[in-house]
């Protein structure tokens, strides 16, 4: 079982692993485990476990990282807008009207 995962950006680092391995059911190539006897991360090649003796980054493609950053920015923007609309009723009214007009124009365009 993975006890903790930490991340700085979209990369994941395992801090403590007490289960036999991460992967498919049963041992198969590519499975990963933390060996508590030698305190090392190991990977299974299909016949034996090999220690990974250096830091390993598990990452994503640049497009995936960009998508996550974009989604985080959008969530921040939405929270900021919600807070501003709570302070300024006119902004909330204008935003609701914008949403209605956006829906209506999409319906018109889809009917064309």
- pLDDT per position as a tens digit, 12-56: 545 444 444 555 556 677 778 888 888 888 888 878 888 877 655
Cβ 21 vs Cβ 44: under 8 Å:
yes
- C-beta atoms surrounding 70 within 10 Å: 10
**How many whole angstroms separate alpha carbon 63 and alpha carbon 21?**
29
Q: Which residues pair with 6 in a beta bridge?
A: 13
Query: Could you read off the pLDDT of 61-91 as tens digits, one per residue?
Result: 888 889 999 999 999 999 999 999 999 999 9
Of 7, 37, 41, 34, nearest in space to 20 by CA = 34
Which segments of the chain are extended strands (E)? 2-8, 11-17, 32-35, 40-44, 49-52
pTM of the model: 0.46
- C-beta atoms surrounding 111 within 10 Å: 6
């Amino acid at each position: 079982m993975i006890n903790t995962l930490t991340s700085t950006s979209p990369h994941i680092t395992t801090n403590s692993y007490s289960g036999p391995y991460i992967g498919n059911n049963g041992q198969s190539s590519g499975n990963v485990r933390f060996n508590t006897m030698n305190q090392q991360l190991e990977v299974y090649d299909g016949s034996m476990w090999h220690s990974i003796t250096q830091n390993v980054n598990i990452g994503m493609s640049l497009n995936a990282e960009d998508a996550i950053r974009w989604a985080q920015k959008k969530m921040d923007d939405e929270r900021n807008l919600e807070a501003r609309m709570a302070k300024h009723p006119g902004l909330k009214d204008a935003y609701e009207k914008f949403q209605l007009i956006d829906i209506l124009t999409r319906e018109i365009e889809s009917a064309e």
